[in-house]
Structure 1
Amino acid sequence: MESFQWKHPYQFDPAFSKRVAYFSMEFAIHQPLKTYAGGLGFLAGSHMRSAYALRQNMVGISILWKYGYYDQIRKGDQTMNVLFQEKVYGFLQKTNIRFTIQVNHSQVQVTAYYLPPEVFGTAPIFFLSTDLPENDYLAQTISHMLYDANMEAKIAAGILLGVGGARLLEILGYEPDIYHLNEAHALPLAFYLYHRFKKLEEVKKRLVFTTHTPEEAGNQKTDIFLLERMSYFYHLPLAEVKQLTGHSGDIFNHTQAALHVAKICNGVSDMHGEVSRQMWKFTKGICPIIHITNAQNAAYWADKGLYEALENDDDEALVRRKKELKKILFEEVADQTGEIYDENICTIVWARRFAGYKRADLLLQDFDRFHAFITNQDMPVQLIWAGKPYPMDYPAISTFDRIVHITKKYSNCAILSGYEMKLSRMLKQGADIWLNTPRLTHEASGTSGMTAAMNGAINMSTQDGWIPEFAKHLHNSFVLPAADTRLPVHEQDAIDNKNLMQRLEQEIVPMYYRQGKQWLEIQKNSMREILPSFDSDRMAKEYYEKVYTYEASSVF
């Protein structure tokens, strides 16, 4: 069998010469590669695109999910169903590399697939797989489904990503200066490095950590004895594991552990950085927590026609191009739902991962008011929902299905399935208003609104995640007043619903029809001001400047 010879495939910029291995459970690179579930993957994909554009000395490490996340399909009554379908990728190179890792006291064979930079314009990325005939079926399933509901499968995937990724880099001869954990999924890497270098200081010199968790309850916690049985700690005695990671009990907090073994951690927005510092301020022995606000790759996401019109100060061309993009989206709406939408009507889109705190149904809280709003003939609107719940999140699936039944009653309401990169682009290009409704302090960053702004959609949002760093009400966005987070959740939701409907009815939709010039100015301000601050080129540079080159004496 011919051996796979590899060296970093492009000449890197001397400013970014430090060797970085970026570990992420998911990457959203391009529609044909189904290795992502949501925002974490979209962020990682944009990071890899910018790393390539800036010629950074970086390599991505992930897992090749045989069945992807899942395919969102419909049942006979149009409600949601889940399909796990095998994916085939002819554009990935087989490396024929073979090595073993230990999972649950068994040796598991691992191989790797390679995505060269020129295929989609990214830094080089390797995808690990255990789907090999040499493995038994249980071992093969480790790389079958992204975020498998089975706890042991999740633990095994973390071992594959962390330990398998480190082993692969050794075989390739790529010795990273920095190992970057994009979330704590690949945490077994830290224990592998400790076993290799024998000193925590040597691990800390090399390990950095990005947290995406905005509240303590969201941090993954696992029975420490289950982790030990699964070989999560790479042969380390439990007493030593607890000492290294600041644990005293038998419940292992993955984020807390990462904060103890990394040299620096970053949150993913200004607000999230502060929330994280407050969350962990009483925990001793953890690394500093800063923030680097998430961003998206403008070269990939932004519509060139819209920006050409903006740069030429050609308002007519901008309006015309936006209507062309709306028509493209509306063809998809017609194909999926049988509804014909009008490009001259104000179109509101809510599209992202379906999760309870994101509140896809916030518009529907006062249904009588919603009905009056959606049936207003003087100032009509068109609504589109889209998004994938986690396949075992039955409350979120129930919300999706409820919206399905509601949209059947209104010809100007639709809910689309198959929310992946292609549909995401169409929705952002076709939206007039990009609706973002997370309950305050629950959204670490959020990035869909960034790419919406790059496509002439105006953000309408609660003041959470990245929004406070960008949005100025009636200048580049529409911003909801902040609800009091000390109130019970149902009261916060009622207040946000009231403010949302009031803004839409009395301010925003009337502006669309009666003050077109003001609307256009807000739209143009949004397009101008989203760049360069929320382009991932800025973000990728900041990681080198603030995280990868961080030393203990650095001041932020």
Structure 2
Amino acid sequence: MAFDFQMYPTAPEFSTPAAYFSMEFALDQALKTYSGGLGFLAGSHMRSAYELKQNLVGIGILWSFGYYDQGRNEDMSMRADFRIKQYSFLQDTGLVFPINIHNAQVLVKALYLAPETFGTVPMFFLTTDIPENDYLSRTISHHLYDADTAARVAQSILLGVGGGKLLDVLGRQTEVYHLNEGHGLPLAFYLYDKHGRDLEEVKKRLVFTTHTPELAGNEEHPVKLLHKMSFFGNVPLEEVERLGLVENGNLNYTLTALRFSRIANGVSKVHGEVANEMWGHYQGICPIIAITNSQNGTYWRDKQLHAALAANDDAALLARKKELKQELFKIVADQTGTLLDPEVLTVVWARRFASYKRADLILRHFERFLEIVNSEDRPVQVIWAGKPYPKDYGAIGLFNDIIAKTKNLNNCAVVTGYELGLSAALKKGSDVWLNTPRFPREASGTSGMTAAMNASVSLSIADGWIPEFVRHGENGFIIEHTDINQPDHVKDDIEATNVLDVLQNEIVPLYYGQPEKFLEIVKTGMREVEPEFESHRMATEYYERMYNAK
């Protein structure tokens, strides 16, 4: 007997039954099924889809160890800890079914997250970590983004094939299957086999979101390895090759998804253009449109800040902002022993920790940085946070370098544990949200949206969503980027100067010398970030432009 889950009454305009597949979901601090921005985006999508009463279910993986717990060594450097997670709020569906991985049967168990738990659409999380499986099979769902290639391939099969089969086991009629990134690509081959190996039948049902604006970041593997791992299910390797999916012996996940989908999207207007430049010359790909990522206001916005904004009560807004800064500074003091001042301009850099995001750009001209932050009459406080991939030793080294470089500065701190809870505290407690990616490598970069919702102004390279929102000096601040064809070290030198120029010559004088004008910029950002960059708009666009597209 199939598990009986009930959809809430769906709105007529969102009645098309769809399923959303994502390797990670950031839904609540208590549920460790995410690593960074992709998960934050997916979580906001699931919340807005619920609030709009869309006929959507979410499919993910229950990671036994989560991503990792970010702790500290004795010298304050970062440490990655791995602990088994337990969740009383996930319901056992009683559903256990087989899938094929590496030509062997692996059993998959499905757990259910009810809508009322966190205010999301109905969601199912898959695990292989059950006693019925051998140890190797159990480890497939242990670690999000496992560093072992075979394990990563197996995780893709679990998400794509396991998710597709779960919907069939449930007996749910699904008209649209939405792949959030290429991780769940085996779903395409599952559907291809299910629908008589007719590519057009798959294209009627599959849509795809790509998030990665550089070729090297789009996953690909030798086709022989994928075949050996049962990535293609029942589809013979000869047919995969006949479909023209193999280039130089490899299969690219993004390119293959574009060839199996009826429509795809990039996640900002800039990224939509970049994605078309990257993939548009390939034969057989679907149209790529732009649907800019966004974040759920119900979850992210501080109610008291927004009540003050709505009432046009500047005193109440400033008082609440000071409270939120003090709450953040308690976290900073608890972790680092550094006491920060709520009256001082506070800049935060916090997001998934990757080298192209350049967490240390503001430190590049270090003597000038010190001059700015240590100013006697107009000081600046800077906080960093972020989780590097646990096997990205370069990024971990950079994280630790920032700790070492700033540990003796009384107005700088690096905090660990960048998850939903800390992210919210940083956005609510910052005055300026710093974003310094190498252009054009930030596909979207949604953290600045939720910062703006909470009275923090963006100071950002004009990449991702920023060109669609920020008007310099009106609702945020732009860091001018240089010619993208320059060598990286030249770009970094010039853009590091540009960061400090805007901070020292524009933001600091406004904050201390013209506080009313600075507040007006803050309030303009708060007003204008919604509804355009609130995820109700995004979830609506997916239905109107992707799910219902004919």
Alignment match, 2:90 = 92
Q: Is 1:123 equivalent to 2:112 in the alignment?
A: no
Alignment match, 2:144 = 146
Alignment match, 2:70 = 72
Alignment match, 1:44 = 42
| In 2, Cα distance between equivalents of 1:323 and 1:532 | 25
Deviates more, 1:413-422 or 1:501-510: 501-510
Q: Is 1:350 equivalent to 2:349 in the alignment?
A: yes
Tell me which amino acid in the other structure corresponds to 2:452: A
Tell me which amino acid in the other structure corresponds to 1:233: F
Alignment match, 1:180 = 178
CA RMSD of aligned residues (A): 0.9
Residue 97 of structure 1 aligns to a residue whose secondary structure is strand
Shift of 1:366: 1.1
Alignment match, 2:339 = 340
CA contact (8 A) 1:386 1:415 kept: yes
CA contact (8 A) 2:2 2:171 kept: no
- 1:205-247 residue CA offsets vs partner (Å, 9 max, x unmatched): 0000000011122111101100000000012122211233533
Tell me which amino acid in the other structure corresponds to 2:172: Y
Q: Is 1:501 equivalent to 2:500 in the alignment?
A: yes
| In 2, Cα distance between equivalents of 1:87 and 1:125 | 18
Alignment match, 1:454 = 453
Gapped runs of 5+ residues in structure 1? 552-556
Residue 343 of structure 1 aligns to a residue whose secondary structure is coil
In the TM superposition, 1:195-206 aligns within 5 A as 195-198=193-196, 199-206=198-205
Deviates more, 1:406-415 or 1:222-231: 406-415
CA contact (8 A) 2:245 2:251 kept: no
- 1:308-334 residue CA offsets vs partner (Å, 9 max, x unmatched): 111111111111110010010011011
Alignment match, 1:378 = 377
Shift of 1:380: 0.7
Distance 1:491 1:425, change over 3 A: same
CA contact (8 A) 2:7 2:55 kept: no
1:11 pairs with 3, 9, 24, which one? 9
Residue 342 of structure 2 aligns to a residue whose secondary structure is coil
| In 1, Cα distance between equivalents of 2:8 and 2:546 | 23
Tell me which amino acid in the other structure corresponds to 2:79: N
Tell me which amino acid in the other structure corresponds to 2:241: K
| In 2, Cα distance between equivalents of 1:148 and 1:158 | 11
- 1:117-173 residue CA offsets vs partner (Å, 9 max, x unmatched): 000000000000001111110000000000000000000000000000011111111
Q: Is 1:544 equivalent to 2:546 in the alignment?
A: no
Shift of 1:7: 3.5
In the TM superposition, 1:103-118 aligns within 5 A as 103-118=101-116
Gapped runs of 5+ residues in structure 2? none
| In 2, Cα distance between equivalents of 1:171 and 1:4 | 6
Alignment match, 1:227 = 226
CA contact (8 A) 1:244 1:261 kept: no
In the TM superposition, 1:414-425 aligns within 5 A as 414-425=413-424
Runs of 4+ in 1 over 6 A off after TM superposition: none
| In 2, Cα distance between equivalents of 1:394 and 1:307 | 41
Residue 246 of structure 2 aligns to a residue whose secondary structure is coil
Alignment match, 1:554 = none
In the TM superposition, 1:47-446 aligns within 5 A as 47-198=45-196, 199-446=198-445
Shift of 1:282: 1.4
CA contact (8 A) 2:179 2:185 kept: yes
| In 2, Cα distance between equivalents of 1:213 and 1:245 | 22
Alignment match, 1:35 = 33
Tell me which amino acid in the other structure corresponds to 1:316: A
| In 1, Cα distance between equivalents of 2:153 and 2:215 | 20
| In 1, Cα distance between equivalents of 2:248 and 2:502 | 49
- 1:235-260 residue CA offsets vs partner (Å, 9 max, x unmatched): 21222112335334311111110010
| In 2, Cα distance between equivalents of 1:418 and 1:4 | 39
Residue 399 of structure 1 aligns to a residue whose secondary structure is helix
CA contact (8 A) 1:66 1:87 kept: yes
- 1:318-367 residue CA offsets vs partner (Å, 9 max, x unmatched): 11110010010011011001111111000000000110100000011111
Q: Normalization by structure 1: what TM-score? A: 0.98
Alignment match, 2:513 = 514
| In 2, Cα distance between equivalents of 1:311 and 1:159 | 48
| In 1, Cα distance between equivalents of 2:248 and 2:3 | 46
| In 2, Cα distance between equivalents of 1:349 and 1:148 | 29
| In 2, Cα distance between equivalents of 1:196 and 1:432 | 53
- 1:410-462 residue CA offsets vs partner (Å, 9 max, x unmatched): 01100000000000000000000000000100000011000000000000000
| In 1, Cα distance between equivalents of 2:2 and 2:207 | 29
CA contact (8 A) 2:297 2:535 kept: yes
Residue 55 of structure 1 aligns to a residue whose secondary structure is coil
| In 2, Cα distance between equivalents of 1:100 and 1:266 | 32
Tell me which amino acid in the other structure corresponds to 2:374: T
- 1:266-296 residue CA offsets vs partner (Å, 9 max, x unmatched): 0000000000001112111100000100000
CA contact (8 A) 1:259 1:287 kept: yes
Tell me which amino acid in the other structure corresponds to 2:35: A
- 1:86-106 residue CA offsets vs partner (Å, 9 max, x unmatched): 000000001111110010011
| In 1, Cα distance between equivalents of 2:2 and 2:497 | 60
Shift of 1:4: 5.5
CA contact (8 A) 2:61 2:127 kept: yes
CA contact (8 A) 1:200 1:244 kept: no
- 1:355-411 residue CA offsets vs partner (Å, 9 max, x unmatched): 010000001111111122222112111110000000011110001001111221101
CA contact (8 A) 1:433 1:460 kept: yes
Deviates more, 1:504-513 or 1:179-188: 504-513
Tell me which amino acid in the other structure corresponds to 1:105: N
Tell me which amino acid in the other structure corresponds to 1:174: R
Residue 35 of structure 1 aligns to a residue whose secondary structure is coil
| In 2, Cα distance between equivalents of 1:381 and 1:540 | 38
Deviates more, 1:3-12 or 1:437-446: 3-12
Q: Normalization by structure 2: what TM-score? A: 0.99
CA contact (8 A) 1:37 1:69 kept: yes
CA contact (8 A) 1:429 1:457 kept: yes
| In 2, Cα distance between equivalents of 1:275 and 1:239 | 32
Deviates more, 1:375-384 or 1:350-359: 375-384
Tell me which amino acid in the other structure corresponds to 1:92: L
| In 2, Cα distance between equivalents of 1:376 and 1:224 | 58
Identity between Structure 1 and Structure 2 (%): 56
Residue 96 of structure 1 aligns to a residue whose secondary structure is strand
CA contact (8 A) 1:350 1:360 kept: yes
Shift of 1:9: 2.7
Residue 251 of structure 2 aligns to a residue whose secondary structure is strand
Q: Is 1:467 equivalent to 2:483 in the alignment?
A: no
CA contact (8 A) 1:246 1:285 kept: no
| In 2, Cα distance between equivalents of 1:391 and 1:512 | 38
Distance 1:437 1:443, change over 3 A: same
